[in-house]
Structure 1
Amino acid sequence: MGRSNKSTNANYSDRIIDIDLIMAGNLILQTERLTIPHPLFHTRDFVLMPLCEIAPERIHPVIGKTIRRLKEELDQKKTQPE
């Protein structure tokens, strides 16, 4: 379970579990190893779709838009020709 990740000596090792922390309430945190909220979650449909089902009115603490609005904007981008 989990991904194989590179260790410092360029060998891969298995992880027991891989957890992506998307948001934690209104917490904004940036460290060397962790950024909350996840910096790209608003661009990923596979994250926004289920999040919109359970918390559509939750406001992204950095962007300041609801999850529903972020999903709508992403849907609009997907339907626009490039």
Structure 2
Amino acid sequence: MLTLTPGVRVLADPTTGRATLTTPSGQVWLLNATATTAVSALADGGTVVDAEAALVRAWPAVPAARLRTDLDALLGTLQQAGAVTAS
């Protein structure tokens, strides 16, 4: 299970659908609407499956396999950066 690393904050802008993710080490990530949807699901205590379901609900015209591939890439990048951790 992946979770946000303790101290990571997600500040979403409901007007644009974008967010800023900050880490305790000072890294700042600007998230597009897709990444915001996925990361918000994790920030709310959800699982990767919950994040995938949120993406499918938000973008029903996009094939689920594509959304999952993009989600895996996003989470891999954030994990390498230390913003999400396996628990």
For normalisation by structure 2, the TM-score amounts to 0.30
For normalisation by structure 1, the TM-score amounts to 0.31
Higher relative contact order (CA 8 A, sep 6+): 2
> Which structure features the higher share of strand residues?
2
